[in-house]
Amino acid sequence: MNLAERETRLSINGERLWRSLMDLARIGATPKGGNARLALSALDGQGRDLVVGWMKEAGLQIHVDQIGNIFGRRPGRDNTLAPVMTGSHIDTQPTGGKFDGCYGVMAGLEVMRTLQQHGIQTEAPLELIIWTNEEGARFLPVMMGSGVFTGRFALDTALDARDSAGLSVRDELAAIGYAGKEPVGQRAVGAYLEAHIEQGPILEAEDRVIGIVTGSLGVRWYDVTVTGMEMHAGPTPMAVRKDALLAASEMVQAVVGIANDKLPHGRGTVGVLSVHPASRNVVPGRVDFTIDLRHVDAATLEQMDRQLHSRLADIAQRHGVALDLRQAQYNPPTPFASALSASVRASAAARGLPAMEMVTGAGHDAVHMAMAHPAAMIFVPCKDGVSHNEIEDARPEHLEAGANVLLDAMLAQAGKREQAYQTATGEAHGTA
C-alpha cells in the first residue's frame, strides 16, 4: 500500500462531526435554526464547557490564557517542537448560524478524535484552539483573542473593553469561568491551519468543494459623523437647509462607487447608520455611520482611503455640513504561508476533491495568526453563500471533506507522516 492509498484510508468520522455541530448548536438556538451565543455570555460559557469536555475526552490537555483563549494540547513524540495548531471560534452574531467558526473548532476536534481512535502519535505536538470574541458583536475589537495572542492588541485594552451595557471583558471572563492565568502569546507556534465555511458564493457557483485560501483582503473601518442643523421641515426652504442625512446619503453612494472602481477585489459597505433627532418633521441635524473598505492589494486600499477622504470632504463642503471621519481599525492585506497552502492543495488532489485558489474577504483569526506565524485556511461551500444569518447552511459531505483535508495538512506539518499512516492501517512496526 502506497502513501496516497493510506491517505484516502485515514479519514475523519463525518457523522460524528455533524452530530457535534448540531449538539453545540442547541446552545443558544434561535427560532429560525441559527444561533445567538454572544462572546462571554452565559451561553458562550455553556458552549465552551461542552466543547472543553469533548476535548478532554479526546485526550487533550487544556490550557486557558488571560484573554480566555482555550488551547487543547495533544503531545507529540518530540514536545520540544513547536505545535501544529488549528481552531476557530464558537461565539456568534446575534442572528448567527450553526457553522461560522464552530465548524473550524469541530473539524479540529474531529482530527484529534481520529488520531486518538487510531492510536497515532505525531512527531510534533498538536493544539486545538478556541479563540475569544472573534465576531466582535458584543465587544470590540473583533478577532480579539487572536489579536492579543499575536500582539495586535494590548491585553489590558482588550480586558477593559465594554459592551453596550457597560460590562467588561475582564468581568465577563471571570463570570463564565474562563479568566485564565496563562500569559497571552507565549505559546510556540509551528503552523496554524483553520477550516471555515466560505461565507460567500464563489465555491458553490464554481462547483468546487475546497477553497485553497492564499490570503486575505485588507480592511479599513471608519466611524463617521456628519453634523448639520436641525430645522423645522415645514418653514425651512430647501436652499438654506444643512441636511446631514442628505449629505450622508451622497457619502454612502461615494463609498460604493469607490469600491466599484476597484473591482473585482474592491469592497465598500455602510453597515450602520443613525439619524438624529429622528423626527418626521425635523431636518436631520446629525448622522453617524460606519464604513468598511476592503481590497487585496495594500497600495490600492491606500488609494481607496485617499479617495474616501477627498470625496467625503467635497460632499460635506457642498452641503455646508461638518465632517468627522475617523479610522476605527486597519488590517493590512495578508498573504498566507505558501507551504501550508501547498499542503491543502496536495490533500485536495489526493482525495479527488475539486478545489480552487481564492482570497478571503472576511476577517478570521487565521489572518491575525498569519501576521506573526505560518498560517493558512481551508474553505468549504455554504448554501447560497449566506452567512451571519440564521439560515446559514452547509452540506455534511462538504464539511467532512474539509476536515479530511485539514487532517492531511496537519499531519504533513507535524512530521513522521509515513509512520503515522502505517499505525492507522495496522502496518507499524515497533514504536508508534
Domain shared by 125 and 109, yes or no: yes
Which of 277, 302, 331 terminates a domain? The answer is: 331
Domain shared by 186 and 258, yes or no: no
Domain shared by 90 and 226, yes or no: no
| 388 belongs to a structural domain | yes
Residue-wise pLDDT tens digits, 18-54: 999 999 999 999 999 999 999 999 999 999 999 999 9
In sequence order, what are the residues at sequence separation of 6 or more whose Cβ sits closer than 8 angstroms to the Cβ of residue 26? none
| 244 belongs to a structural domain | yes
Q: Are 244 and 288 in contact (CB under 8 A)?
A: no
Which of 311, 331, 351 terminates a domain? The answer is: 331
Domain shared by 276 and 240, yes or no: yes
Maximum pairwise Cα distance, the chain: 92
| 431 belongs to a structural domain | no
Cell numbers representing residue 33 in the block: 435554526
| 52 belongs to a structural domain | yes
The band of 158, judged by pLDDT with boundaries at 50, 70 and 90, is: very high
| 179 belongs to a structural domain | yes
The band of 416, judged by pLDDT with boundaries at 50, 70 and 90, is: low
The band of 139, judged by pLDDT with boundaries at 50, 70 and 90, is: very high
Neighbours of 335 (CB within 10 A): 14
Report the pLDDT averaged over residues 289-311.
97
Q: Work out the angle between the directed axes of helices 102-117 and 42-57 (0-180°, nearest 10).
A: 20
pLDDT at 331: 85
Q: Is the pLDDT of residue 6 over 50?
A: no
Residue-wise pLDDT tens digits, 371-382: 999 999 999 999
The band of 2, judged by pLDDT with boundaries at 50, 70 and 90, is: very low
Which of 296, 331, 366 terminates a domain? The answer is: 331
Q: Work out the angle between the directed axes of helices 102-117 and 396-414 (0-180°, nearest 10).
A: 60
Q: Are 127 and 72 in contact (CB under 8 A)?
A: yes
The CATH code of the domain that includes 251 is 3.30.70.360
The band of 361, judged by pLDDT with boundaries at 50, 70 and 90, is: confident
Residue-wise pLDDT tens digits, 59-118: 999 999 999 999 999 999 999 999 999 999 999 999 999 999 999 999 999 999 999 999
Q: Are 211 and 104 in contact (CB under 8 A)?
A: no
C-alpha dihedral, 282 to 284 to 288 to 290, nearest 10°: 110
The band of 350, judged by pLDDT with boundaries at 50, 70 and 90, is: very high
Domain shared by 245 and 393, yes or no: no
What is the spatial distance between Cα 42 and Cα 45, in angstroms, rounded to a whole number? 5
Neighbours of 404 (CB within 10 A): 28
Q: Which residue has the cell 490533500?
A: 347
| 429 belongs to a structural domain | no
Look over the chain and give the mean of its residue pLDDT values, rounded to a whole number: 94
What is the spatial distance between Cα 81 and Cα 101, in angstroms, rounded to a whole number? 27
Residue-wise pLDDT tens digits, 172-214: 999 999 999 999 999 999 999 999 999 999 999 999 999 999 9
Domain shared by 323 and 380, yes or no: no
Domain shared by 207 and 224, yes or no: no
Domain shared by 278 and 152, yes or no: no
The band of 7, judged by pLDDT with boundaries at 50, 70 and 90, is: very low
The CATH code of the domain that includes 28 is 3.40.630.10
Q: Are 390 and 97 in contact (CB under 8 A)?
A: yes
What is the spatial distance between Cα 219 and Cα 199, in angstroms, rounded to a whole number? 16
Residue-wise pLDDT tens digits, 393-403: 999 999 999 99
- What 3-state DSSP class applies to 397? helix
Domain shared by 86 and 124, yes or no: yes
Name the residue range of residue 238's domain.
Answer: 218-331
70-74 and 61-64 beta bridge pairing: antiparallel
- Number of structural domains (the chain) is 2
